[in-house]
Amino acid sequence: MTLDEAVISRHTVKAFDPAQRVPQEKIDTLLNVLHNSPSSVNSQPWHFVVASSEEGRAAMAKSATSNFIYNKPKIADASHVIALCMRSDLDEAHLQKVLAQEEKDGRFVADGAKAGQDKGRRSYVDLHRYEQRDLPQWMEKQVYLALGGLLLSAAMLGIDATPMEGFDARELDLALGLREKGLTSVVLVSLGVRSEQDFNAALPKSRLPRDEIFTFI
């Protein structure tokens, strides 16, 4: 499948076939995509919870209640569901861990590279913590960068996907024990094989005309 074909064929699946499973090798490829997602100053303010079992999906489905009950089957019937989460803070321990990993991976070749990387990353963290006061929103943006790569990669692999913001984040955080780990859920993505009840598969894609969303200078 070409990239052009993937972006045209990709759509938000409305119903999954519970009898169908995504091969593990394809899931592993998607996890590799998430693991190598870009983030501002390599801050990596995320964590990904992968539910591949019926029990795991049921735990996540607990968050699809009340106004979000319509999303429960999309979680329960999927092959895999990934909760994309963000850290509650970019604390000293995390900053040190990222820096140590960069050093271990051989990223600091030039003299002063390690100190420069650390200083540059901290300047962005401090900017968003103290001046713009939007550190949670900034971290959330990095999670959505990972989401975009995940959805496009799933399309390229022929995997049906449904991104969902329609869930009770508090319920999901409690069900997965996220808050004890300094994490909070941001968005869910169900992966699987669409069923015949997926009405969205037959509908044409709709976007505003190119001349309204592009400016060439």
What confidence tens digit (pLDDT) does each residue in 39-85 have? 999 999 999 999 999 999 999 999 999 999 999 999 999 999 999 99
pLDDT value at position 205?
Answer: 94
Q: Tell me if 208 is assigned to some domain.
A: yes
Q: Tell me if 26 is assigned to some domain.
A: yes
pLDDT band at 1 (very low <50, low <70, confident <90, very high): confident
Q: Tell me if 151 is assigned to some domain.
A: yes
For residue 63, the one-letter residue type is S
Closest to 10 measured CA to CA, from 129, 134, 159, 136: 159
For residue 165, the one-letter residue type is E
Please give the tally of structural domains in the chain: 1
Tracing tokens 């064929």 back to the chain, one arrives at 9
Contact between 11 and 155 under an 8 Å Cβ cutoff? The reply is no
198: containing domain: 3-89+142-212
- For residue range 130-184, list pLDDT tens digits in order: 999 999 999 999 999 999 999 999 999 999 999 999 999 999 999 999 999 999 9
Contact between 43 and 125 under an 8 Å Cβ cutoff? The reply is yes
Active site members = 14, 74, 165
Whole-angstrom Cα distance, residue 49 to residue 111?
A: 38
